[in-house]
Structure 1
Amino acid sequence: MKAILQPAMLGGLALGNRVAMAPVTRSRAGRDGVPDDLAAQYYQQRASAGLLISEATNVSTMSAAFELAPGIYTPEQVAGWRRVAAAVHRDGGKLFMQLWHSGRVSSYALLGGAAPLSPSGVNDDLHLLQVYGMLRNGQYTRIAASPSRAMEREEIFSAVRAFGIGAANALDTGLDGVEIHAANGYLPQQFLSSLVNRRTDDFGGGVENRARFLRLVIESVMLSFPASRIGVRISPFALYNNAGDPALADTYGYLLRMLEEYGVGYVHAADTNAWGGVPDMDELLSLVRANYGGFVIANGGLSPEAADGLIRDGRADMVSFGRQFIANPDLVRRIAQGGPYNEPDPFTFYGGGSRGYVDYPALAA
């Protein structure tokens, strides 16, 4: 049997295989951020994955990089996710929710006229920030990022509490765990980045201070879930949303050792640059394995064959797939028999209805 099809244990959960569904933004939740019955169908179709990780889910009204993304901060959103969790569990699946705060990656247009929040109000790179919205004509497209403002201390603690409330709400839905989105240039990575975080208080400066925000977020989330049911997604090499660090090895070495200290269930190592055809997977996994001894999920532009090799060689414990899972709801079965694979339609990735969402065909029985 292929290594990627072998069972695994994660946080006391028995996973049927080592194929994970990556958190893939689909922007179909409506303006109230409530996942609907189509979302329940979408996740249920993919329940054969060893682990499903939900699309990035806003923990606050001040998080809005993609319009129409779901949230987890209102009773209606909680009720919607409860239906999703029940649908996945009916088919034997395991579902973690990715908790998300986009920080400075947003727009006045998506925040009711408010300025996006950031560690330091750095705004000389707005053209590099990826913000998306629905136009009046129904087309979903990239829009201009708006200048952010530096967070007051109480706003930092409020954002930390928002992650904690999101985790408590996720627990209430019956979900199996949560993943903290500390990758792709969003708020936790903004605090980690010495380029974006120029604060002079105890949330800026040295790496211990820059990691404090994520440390507090983890502790807030641990009020609802044990550390073994919490994952953290990181993308140290990512150019996406411009939150890099010139002392990358030192920053992420410290961070990974911190995650080891807390005993988090997994590190989700995202090779975001692979999207642009410049993969960093070898360096990324070497960095993670040198500083963290726990469960590792690898992500980023990997074929099923390459993914199987990473697991067989012990470089990763699981591999997550994004676009492949969009187009192939029965991806695990297709991997088992070596294909064939449906091709994803990028024009239906974001926004819209059932087309390109729940209508990709499964293999004939």
Structure 2
Amino acid sequence: MKTEDFYYDLPEELIAQHPIADREASRMLVLDKKAGKIEHRYFRDIIDYLNRGDCLVLNDTRVIPARLFGRREGKEEKIEFLLLRRLEGDQWETLVKPGKKVRPFNKIVFGDGLLVADVLDIEEDGTRIVEFSYDGIFEEILDKLGQMPLPPYIKEKLKDKERYQTVYSKHEGSAAAPTAGLHFTKRLLNDIKDKGVDIAFLTLHVGLGTFRPVKVENIEEHHMHAEYYNISKETAQKINIAKEKGRNVIAVGTTTVRTLETVATEDGIVVPGKGWTDIFIYPGYTFKVVDKLITNFHLPESTLLMLVSALAGRDNIFHAYNEAIKKRYRFYSFGDAMFIK
């Protein structure tokens, strides 16, 4: 299957530049993956599609202010860091711009010396391994110096940092938000729980693997960047009970899908644990756990578009996307929602 098979043309004005005031007032395109039928609703209506005994699974990762601006020691040019993942201690894998300016043994200074990075190594994919030195608590310094790592297609400045977090975000470590969850409010989650739906949480720290462009012609040759996950015994038990009773497992976001499909056995039993996943899901994949999916609209030729095409069928997805464009839905991170049932 070719990467170009997942291209579509999107008018630039449909790329959402800011979140709407009321999270659950986003529009929601509902796609029946078997019949191909489409409905147009609002996200608050998601409760109508969830039933007692179903299990709704959410990713409770929290985005860190992972974008840092500094300079090489003794130089004036601006250097941009994007923290991708913590390796051990104060060592991090980072994306650096401009990369040509940053070599091993360089020191990068942030905040007039409040934070200093020693460049240790350059990986094959161009990322840098760095070690930070500082006085105090790293997270507090990062909160002071760092910016939220919004995707490059968002040109407007985010007024409220919390709007790039889900209302249930808990465990810090992501370089990007699990955006399908941005539509939930605490009120809506309480209503869903009151309906008898089991709500379960897992953690996958979103890195660049989810968003890196597919640069190969044949998608089978693409390799995902590994991301850290953690799924508890309680969450695994809730999901396994739902499957045992023939109820639906509804994943919120592609990160949740990737975690569940990573930890499941071939017969669909979810095994608790923690580790790293580089699973790449594209058409032809047989899902072991996930029945339905709440997601956003994804970039052309992206691994996310390939994942939703694997679940709903490429033709169904492209028909739905064409409808969404005609109906002027808002696309990408701050955009509207899609429910694949």
Instruction: Report if TM-score (shorter chain) is over 0.5.
Output: no
Higher-Rg member (1/2): 2
TM-score scaled by length of structure 2? 0.31
Task: Pick the structure with more strand per residue.
Answer: 2
Task: Pick the structure with more helix per residue.
Answer: 1
Instruction: Determine which structure has greater relative contact order: mean sequence separation of CA pairs < 8 Å that are 6+ residues apart, divided by chain length.
Output: 2
TM-score scaled by length of structure 1? 0.30
